Amino acid sequence: MRWLAKARLRLRSLFRRERIGGELSEELEFHLEQAVQEKLAAGLSRVEARHAALRDFGGVEQVREECAEVRRLNWFYDLLEDVRYGLRMLGKSPGFTGVAVLTLALGIGANTAIFSVVYAVLLKPLPYPQPNQLVGVTMAEPEEGIPTNGTSYDDFREWQAQNHVFTEMAGFQSHDLTLTGRGEPLTVETAVITPGLFSLLGVKPIVGRTFFPEDGQEGARAVVVLSENLWRDRFGGDSSVLGTSISLDHKSYTVIGVMPASFDYPPLNSSEPVWIPLLQDPVFGPWMDRKGGHWLRVIARIKPSVSFAGAQAEMDTVGARLAAKSPAENTGWVIRLVPLQRQMVGSMKTALVALLGSVGLVLLIACANVANLLLCRATSRAKEMALRAALGAGRGRIVRQLLTESAVLGLAGGLAGVLLANWGVHGLRSGLPANLPQANTVRLDGSVLAFALGLSILASFLFGLAPTLFAAGADLEAVLKQDVVRSGESGPQRFAREFLAAAEVALAMVVLVGAGLLGRSFLSLTSVRPGFEVENRMKSGVELPLLEYSQPAEWRAFGEGLLRRLQAQPGMHDTAIAVPLPLVDGYINLAFDIVGNPPLRPGASQNADYAAVSPNYFGVMGIPLLRGRWFSEQDRDSSAPVTVISETLAQLYFPNQDPIGRQLSFEFPPRAVTRQEIVGIVGDVRDVGLGQPPGAMMYVPFAQAPFWEAEIVVESNLSAANVAAAIREQVHGMDKDLPVGDVRAMSEAVDRSVQQPRLRTVLVGLFAGIALVLAAAGIFGVMSYSVSRRTHEIGIRMALGASASRVQRLVLTESAKLLLIGLAVGIPAALGLSRLLSNLLFAVRPSDPLTFLGVGVLLIAVGLAASYLPTRRAMRVDPLVALRHE
Amino acid sequence: MTKPVDLVQGTLDMLILKTLALEPAHGWAIAQRIRQVSKDVLQVRQGALYPALHRLEQQGWIKAEWGESENNRRAKYYSLTKAGRNYLEQEHANWERLSAAIGIVMNTA
């Protein structure tokens, strides 16, 4: 084909300057040599001939420049003309252009919005120098199935001392402290760190300084680094705050610096954290001397000369050495390195990839739709094309112009898509979980826009291919001579349209199945019974500053005193306290031993979740008593230590025995190891997550195991505002400087715990909806077009005696064929791809037959509905008119 | 929209196309022929020939092929394409009309 040769020429011109230079040289050299021959024949010497020839020729270099210029200029002018022509053609049919641009905008916009999240969270390198040297250092207990955990401060020091592969290591934890003295008492999420964290990450403050190693040494003054948001909100963004003190839990800290708002380590829920040295922390500071425990989270920076595998190998050795030295604590535990970015992202990766995949399919459907639209237009423009060819436009020129038109359409769609995406990103940002790493950097930045541009071009190529191939392959002369309308449609064209429509159905099926599975999974998840009652329950929280309330006796007194006061309030008789509340707070997991059982082998452990609760807790929470008794007012510090266990613990660790009367021994700091007698068995609760099966749980009376922080749960018909006021009043009646956590309905808090699955389900559902609409539009388009092309044929059939219902069947058969082919391809595709979703699904198999059946029926129904109008039109064809229709 | 082509360039294009309408030729031969046919009146700066040839090739009126010259050397031969031939006929008709019109104007002045 000529246009292929021309395309080759054009490409050569663009990319192989050197070759062209060579060929051009050869051509000019030939000319010069001929001229020289002529002059030689005229009697000049070789040298004179050469000079004369060059003189006649003019400047050789100049000529070469001009030739190169010609190639460049031509290309540019042609492109400009194509673009202008394309815009004019698109402007002539605003309806078509509008639909095409809108379709593309939906596809490209959705993809761009999702990609902005994927990029910010998964792909963008962490904003620290040499981010690929950063690793999380965790401890894992493979045999007990604990994949990742922290370490003790003691072990952290050992790791620092014994390794040769890290330039630096740092540890951290976090919890809340109360900021007082600057307005209302405020709960501040506090990152508790070893001093080296900031230098490890290589970050600089915006004012002041970060920690020096001296700040973590005994006797150092207590210092704090603020976050920019907190600094601006509470301290007016004034740098004179440096050097002044603030009061956290009634302990004085000197402000030494402010970190920029973009600094987000460790990942916390709050956007206004503070950082204090571990040594100065009232909660974890005292734990620095404690042996064992897995509370400190550690990160490290690998030396540039060491590989990841090398670092892991070294830490394996260190881990083994430590386990040999302290077998009681460390047997069975191994040290595991994880690249920091992967550790931060965790399980989000599957979800994000699934989202990107489904939205990509939506774009494919959109491209198929636009390709179909263009094909229809190509047919009606066939005569125009043929005329142009006859008038001298090379076929290549026509093809190039069509591709340019596609590109213009694609870029217009991309532009509109970016606008849509902008709006979408705003919505996404507010829906993202707060502690998603780098979530605060989700926006339409350069890389995301480049992605959108790339998608537009790819899309143009995809949908532009169809009409271009048609234009290139069709015999344009025959088009002019022949009456295309009469013969119906050309074979390859019709096949292309039907193929596209069937493909859309298949793709839509995949996305719909994904949405259906996620939807069913989400419904299952939210209908799971948590094991406790949620109706009419509200929760709040109180925290005592350790500096003022340093003794367990004080915690007990406060907790019980507050409880009595609250219970005396009208409408708040059913109030209990708990540390922690199941599902909506974190969970505490402890190892325990059963007194009287043979000792466990070293390294093995029995674990259960732990909670300290007031006597009426089970009643207020609606947790059923199965055997024995609940706690009562008689269970005090002075009486026998007791515990209540969950059904699962009883079944797992006391099979075929009666647990009542046996003793469990465990340690929860700051208490020492105690033995608690089992007095009751209660129903299970899902305390970790709705999607997690309930595990073993042991409860102790708050009076026997008080804590400085407690959650309040109230069962009441009062409004949340009234409850909040009552709690605040009573708390402040006891200590006016204590902040009271927000009062929230338990049902709302439980909803929060499934925020991620909800977001996923909603998004994929949205995409599935778009896919369905697009596929329906595609089928509608193809069927309408097909009917209009076959009007003549239908007229003949009717004239020959076919009834309206036969015609109807004719049309419906065609659309049914499309749908069935689409389903035939879509079902296996969906089966294959849905397996990728399996870790996102709860209680639903990826091959769930109900979902597949439902989606199939939906698609067929929608497809037939989309064919309804074209079918009616076919049935209404007046044979006389149709026969005359040329 | 036509590209900005000045009159001399347009004339040169026509001459090249006309030359090639007879038979394919390489650059040197085209230059010779133009000199010959115009009886040396039209002195085409030989260098100007090549940018024109490349431009015509880009536009698709002529195509190029490497071949062997009369004295067995490698040379680039140009020939008219069908599109080029059509274009030539069209332009020829235009030119005739134009010169006729000018003739009338001149004669009736």
On whether any CB of chain A is under 8 Å from the CB of B70, the answer is: no
Instruction: Report the alpha-carbon distance of residue B81 to residue B103 in Å, rounded.
Output: 32
Q: Which chain A residue has its CA at the smallest distance from B46's CA?
A: A57
Give the Cα separation of A814 and A310 in Å (integer).
64
B93 in contact with A, Cβ within 8 Å: no
pLDDT of residue B42: 60
Number of H helices, E strands in chain A: 29, 22
d(CA A705, CA B72): 106
Cβ contact A394–B54 (<8 Å): no
- Extents of the domains making up chain A: 2-91, 144-331, 349-526+755-884, 546-736
What is each CA distance from A857 to A770, A779, A850, in whole angstroms? 18, 16, 11
Residue B2 pLDDT grade (very low, low, confident, very high; cuts 50, 70, 90): very low
Q: Which of B58, B73, B76 sits opposite A70 (nearest CB)?
A: B58
* Tokens at A444, concatenated: 């339409």
CA dihedral of A9, A11, A14, A17, whole degrees rounded to 10:
-60
pLDDT, block means (10 residues), chain A with 886 residues: 60 54 81 86 85 81 81 77 84 85 92 91 88 91 73 91 93 88 84 94 93 90 94 90 90 93 85 92 83 85 93 92 80 86 80 89 92 80 71 68 87 93 88 75 88 91 79 58 51 80 91 92 89 90 82 90 91 90 84 85 80 93 93 88 93 90 83 86 90 89 89 89 88 84 85 85 91 89 81 81 82 88 93 88 89 92 88 79 67
pLDDT value of position A19: 54
Distance from CA of A385 to the nearest CA of B (A): 15
With an 8 Å Cβ cutoff, are A392 and B59 in contact? Answer: no
Number of Cβ within a 10 Å radius of residue A245: 16
Q: Could you tell me which chain A residue has the CA closest to the CA of B78?
A: A27
Residue with tokens 């340093």: A550
Q: Which two tokens stand for residue B109?
A: 């002045």
Tell me yes or no: is domain B7-107 CATH 1.10.10.10.
Answer: yes
Domain definitions of chain B by residue range: 7-107
SS3 of residue A438 by DSSP:
coil
3-state SS, A488-511, equals CCCHHHHHHHHHHHHHHHHHHHHH
Of A455, A446, A422, whose CA–CA distance to A104 is shortest? A455
Q: Which helix (H) or strand (E) holds A442?
A: none
Structural contact between residues A761 and A519, judged by C-beta atoms closer than 8 angstroms: yes
Prediction ipTM score:
0.82
What tokens appear for A291 in the block? 């042996």
Q: What angle do CA A52, A53, A55 make, to 5 degrees?
A: 65
pTM of the model as a whole? 0.75
The larger pLDDT score, comparing residue B7 to residue A468, is at A468
Minimum-distance CB partner of A70 among B55, B69, B90: B55
Q: DSSP letter string over A659-728? A: -TT-EEEE--TTS--EEEEEEEEE-----S-TTSPP--EEEEETTTS--SEEEEEEE-SS-HHHHHHHHH
Helix (H) or strand (E) holding B31: helix B27-37
Q: Which of A6, A13, A391 sits opposite B60 (nearest CB)?
A: A6
Chain A residues within an 8 Å CB radius of B90: 392
Q: In this structure, how many other beta carbons lie within 10 angstroms of the beta carbon of residue A481?
A: 10
Under 8 Å CB-to-CB from A7, ≥6 apart: which residues? A396
Q: Which residue of A has its CA nearest to B67?
A: A27
CA distance A445 to chain B (A): 39
Partner residue facing B60 (CB), from A28, A75, A394 = A394
Q: Which residue of A has its CA nearest to B55?
A: A70
Say if residues A110 and A426 touch (Cβ distance below 8 Å): no
Q: Taking phi first (over 0 means left), then psi (-120 to 50 degrees means alpha), and beta for anything else, what does residue A511 get?
A: alpha
Query: Would you say the C-alpha torsion A744, A746, A748, A753 has a positive or negative sign?
Result: positive
Closest-CA residue of B relative to A73 is B55
Chain A positions touching B87 (Cβ under 8 A) are 392
Biggest CA pair distance of chain A: 133
- A-B CB pairs within 8 A amount to 82
Alpha-carbon distance of A67 to A861, in angstroms, equals 62
- Are B83 and A392 an interchain contact pair (Cβ–Cβ within 8 Å)? yes
B4 and A CB contact within 8 Å: no
The torsion angles phi and psi of A328, rounded to 5 degrees, stand at -60, -45
DSSP codes, A455-489: HHHHHHHHHHHHHHHHHHHS-HHHHHHS-HHHH--
> How high is the pLDDT of residue A212?
93
Which distant-in-sequence residues (6+ apart) come within 8 Å of A306 by Cβ?
Answer: A165, A314
Residues 6+ apart with CB under 8 A from A460: A403, A406, A407, A409, A410, A411
Give the gap in angstroms from C-alpha A33 to the nearest C-alpha of chain B.
10
Cβ of A70 within 8 Å of Cβ of B90? The answer is no
Name chain A contacts of B71, Cβ cutoff 8 Å.
Answer: 37
Contact A593, A606 (CB under 8 A): yes
Instruction: Choose the mutation target among B3, B16, B54, B92 for the interface with A, i.e. most A CBs under 10 Å.
Output: B54
Give the span between the Cα atoms of A52 and A59, in whole angstroms: 12
Of chain B, the percentage scoring pLDDT greater than 70 comes to 83
What six digits make up the tokens of A842? 């709860």
Q: Which of A71, A81, A391 sits opposite B1 (nearest CB)?
A: A81
Among candidates B45, B51, B86 on the partner chain, residue whose Cβ is nearest the Cβ of A70: B51
Q: Across the interface, do B50 and A30 touch by the CB < 8 Å criterion?
A: no
pLDDT of residue B58: 80
* Residues A496/A490, Cβ–Cβ less than 8 Å: no
Confidence of residue B3 (pLDDT cuts 50, 70, 90): very low
Which residue has 């005229």 as its token pair?
Answer: A42
Q: Which of B28, B50, B83 sits opposite A67 (nearest CB)?
A: B50
> Contact at 8 Å (CB) between A696 and A609?
yes
Locus of tokens 């300084």: A209
CA distance A458 to A788: 31
Q: Which residue has the tokens 């030989």?
A: B46
Determine the pLDDT at residue A14: 52
CA distance A61 to A67: 10
Beta-carbon contacts of B102 under 8 Å, excluding residues fewer than 6 positions away, are: none
Q: Using 50, 70 and 90 to split pLDDT, how confident is the model at B15? A: confident
Is B54's CB within 8 Å of A67's CB?
yes
- Provide the pLDDT for residue A480: 57
* pLDDT reported for residue A853: 93
Q: Do B1 and A84 touch (CB under 8 A)?
A: yes
**Test the A interface: residue of B6, B34, B46, B66 with most A CBs within 10 Å:** B46
pLDDT score of A390: 66
Residue with the two structure tokens 């290591």? A169
Classify burial at A34, counting beta carbons within 10 Å of its beta carbon; exposed 0-12, middle 13-18, buried 19 or more: buried
**What pLDDT is recorded for position A486?**
43
